[in-house]
Structure 1
Amino acid sequence: MSDIETRLQNGVLEVHFNRPDKKNAITEAMYTALAEAFVRARTQADVSVVLLTGQKNCFTAGNDLNDFLDHPPEDEQAPVFRFLHTLADFPKPVVAAVNGAAVGIGTTLLLHCDLVFSGESAKFQLPFVNLGLVPEFASSYLLPLRVGHAKAAEWLLTGKTFDAQEAKAAGLINQVFSDEQFLSAALHQAQALAAQPATSLLLTKRLMKQPYMAQTLQIMDEEGELFRRRLNDADFLAAVERFKSR
């Protein structure tokens, strides 16, 4: 069984984080699989929409820190950055179904999804500063655009955990459903999108993202360079030791 599972049905490619014993913490191999899934989906005629999800009780706890230290991203060709770029300019609609932990990239990747549905038990967190790091996935740019500077600063500078209702009120996600219904609601919406005229979907998404895309990619690269530097900083290494000693 793969840590990233895919299933295609009725024009919807479901991409599942599938490492529940580790709270879907993402490894280098998982980033490779994610990037490859989106690269294939980009040109697959029978894929109209991608649905990204995890399990009922966990989306993803973010990067697997041990694996991250064993395989630090050395340049923009690293699997993690390849995935970031692949999702950032993915031309087809992406729907996310989120519940439980959505930590770090588990929250920032939502900024690159078109519709986000969550369960009522979803918990979001952006703990980059707490770890001695900096934001990634253009979140330092896109999050203030999405939710305003004050709320973005509250989330990014403090690393606080916030719930689904706060995320919805701020505009990060679209709707909150019960823990039993969030995935079926997201799948229903993905299927409804897949039934729409495909070219119109592509053109409409492109028109919405075009004004921000160049800046998004530039900021992603700037964040990535700073992020890589911080991996060797004493603050990050001390944070990792605290994490390991829990």
Structure 2
Amino acid sequence: YNQPISKLMALHRLSSACNRMFLSASVVQTASGLRSLSSAGGLADKFTKAQSALQRLTEDPGNAAKLKIYSLYKQATEGKCTKPKPGFTDFVGRAKWDAWSGLGDMTKDQAMQQYIDLVESMGGKLDAPDTTADTTNPADSNTASADYKEALVSISPSGVLWFTLNRPAKKNAISTDLYAEWSKAMEQAAADDKVKAMVITGAGEYFSSGNDLSSFTNLKPGVTMEQMAADGNAILRRFVAAFIDFPKPLIALVNGPAVGISVSTLGLYDQVFASDSATFHMPFSSLGQTPEGCSSYTLPRIMGLPAAASLVMFNRKISAQEALSCGLVSRVFPAASFAAEAGAAVEEIAALPRQTLIYAKQLLREPIRAELHATNERECNRLQERWISEDCFNAVAKFFSRKSKL
């Protein structure tokens, strides 16, 4: 019996059940629920609108939020949970029961109001049933975002391509789709003569919270864990290779907390500008995983081995000033003026001769390019093994267990 696989499948069943709850349980009403809603007046109307708004959300709210949505819906339509607790082996049923039962004696009206508040807090628009948010960047008329669903992409008049991670509700966690979009944007920018430099930043408060760990619970039918790990290897290797081979100035604008691969790849940028509110955290070992992004090669050379080990091996979180002092960050700007000051610094770079910058970067990168690609291959192969290990399964299961209790 493969214990790690069984744990992952349990998580997968929970995620799938949460997805079904998210899409259907909030709109399928029981007879008692209908009677309750018909007597609730304006609150019932808002509750119905909130269910419709829920379906229009473009960001997955995550399993913990989905369980909360489910429990509030059940409390609003059926009242206090009186059903027996499912057996120990019914992982999904127990999670649903715990969420609903945890609401105790909350009234139906209170549950409806909390349901409405929760949907609105996730960006649901109760009074806009047929519209979606405009995610284009109003500051740049020359946008290229039409082909991107999880990023904003634009080219400034000075020839700087801005790639903004645009999943603020998920703290800009990097999904499989975002990996593909990011890789594509870098490859296209590298080949486009109109692009002089590329900037990576994040929408909202976070630069990026790293990998979207929900991918560990989203197994597709007929796909084995081994195949999923192999596919992840290929996606990650292409992504990091795009950094290694990018021929033009590559600049990170770290506008807030950076986690995981958004930190491990910083050694492959040419400049890293950080807000003084930014933090840098690589919690690899706590998740049963090993470093990626060529960080096992770049960070010891940038920071020194002990400082790199504290990040890569021992999960230490550092501030922007600490990152500056050890060379991981080029410049730090105040959070209140970060966009303006960092943007001005980018424009100074864009004003330099394009071809000269390309040749200068080539001279810096070429002596270590082969070693970087070899490092990328070693790191991806080790991660492929880690992703199907018991260490990783246990750590990810613990992570989701903590989130579900929030």
Q: Give the TM-score, by structure 1 length.
A: 0.95
Mean alpha-carbon deviation: is it higher for 73-82 or for 2-11? 73-82
In the alignment, the residues of structure 1 paired with residue 151 and residue 261 of structure 2 have an alpha-carbon distance, to the nearest angstrom, of 16
- Structure ranking higher in helix proportion: 2
1:16 aligns with one of 164, 181, 185? 164
Mean alpha-carbon deviation: is it higher for 19-28 or for 52-61? 52-61
**Offset at residue 114 of structure 1 (A):** 0.5
- Structure ranking higher in strand proportion: 1
In the alignment, the residues of structure 1 paired with residue 255 and residue 279 of structure 2 have an alpha-carbon distance, to the nearest angstrom, of 7
**For residue 251 of structure 2, what is the amino acid of its counterpart?**
V
- Partner of residue 184, structure 1: 340
**Offset at residue 100 of structure 1 (A):** 2.1
| Correspondence 1:40 to 2:196 | no
- List runs of 5+ in structure 2 lacking aligned partners: 1-134, 136-148, 220-227
Q: How many residues align?
A: 246
In the alignment, the residues of structure 2 paired with residue 135 and residue 77 of structure 1 have an alpha-carbon distance, to the nearest angstrom, of 13
2:387 aligns with one of 200, 221, 231? 231
* CA deviation map 1:142-169 (0-9, x unaligned): 1000111111111112111111111001
In the alignment, the residues of structure 1 paired with residue 244 and residue 211 of structure 2 have an alpha-carbon distance, to the nearest angstrom, of 18
**Offset at residue 56 of structure 1 (A):** 4.9
In the alignment, the residues of structure 1 paired with residue 194 and residue 275 of structure 2 have an alpha-carbon distance, to the nearest angstrom, of 29
CA 1:46/1:73 → structure 2, altered by over 3 Å: closer, same or farther? farther
- Partner of residue 250, structure 2: 94
**Offset at residue 118 of structure 1 (A):** 0.6
In the alignment, the residues of structure 1 paired with residue 178 and residue 216 of structure 2 have an alpha-carbon distance, to the nearest angstrom, of 12
- Partner of residue 151, structure 2: 4
- Partner of residue 207, structure 1: 363
Q: Which of 1 and 2 has higher RCO (CA within 8 Å, sep 6+)? A: 1
In the alignment, the residues of structure 1 paired with residue 196 and residue 329 of structure 2 have an alpha-carbon distance, to the nearest angstrom, of 21
- Partner of residue 112, structure 1: 268
Mean alpha-carbon deviation: is it higher for 79-88 or for 92-101? 79-88
In the alignment, the residues of structure 2 paired with residue 3 and residue 167 of structure 1 have an alpha-carbon distance, to the nearest angstrom, of 28
1:27 aligns with one of 175, 189, 193? 175
**Offset at residue 79 of structure 1 (A):** 2.8
Percentage identity across paired residues of the two chains = 35
- Partner of residue 170, structure 1: 326
**For residue 155 of structure 2, what is the amino acid of its counterpart?**
L
In the alignment, the residues of structure 1 paired with residue 201 and residue 218 of structure 2 have an alpha-carbon distance, to the nearest angstrom, of 26
| Correspondence 1:197 to 2:348 | no
CA 1:241/1:77 → structure 2, altered by over 3 Å: closer, same or farther? closer
In the alignment, the residues of structure 1 paired with residue 276 and residue 353 of structure 2 have an alpha-carbon distance, to the nearest angstrom, of 32
- Partner of residue 4, structure 2: none
In the alignment, the residues of structure 2 paired with residue 79 and residue 68 of structure 1 have an alpha-carbon distance, to the nearest angstrom, of 15
- Partner of residue 218, structure 2: 70
- List runs of 5+ in structure 1 lacking aligned partners: none
Q: Give the TM-score, by structure 2 length.
A: 0.59
**Offset at residue 185 of structure 1 (A):** 2.4
Bigger radius of gyration: 2
CA 1:68/1:109 → structure 2, altered by over 3 Å: closer, same or farther? farther
* CA deviation map 1:171-204 (0-9, x unaligned): 0001111112223222222222222111100000
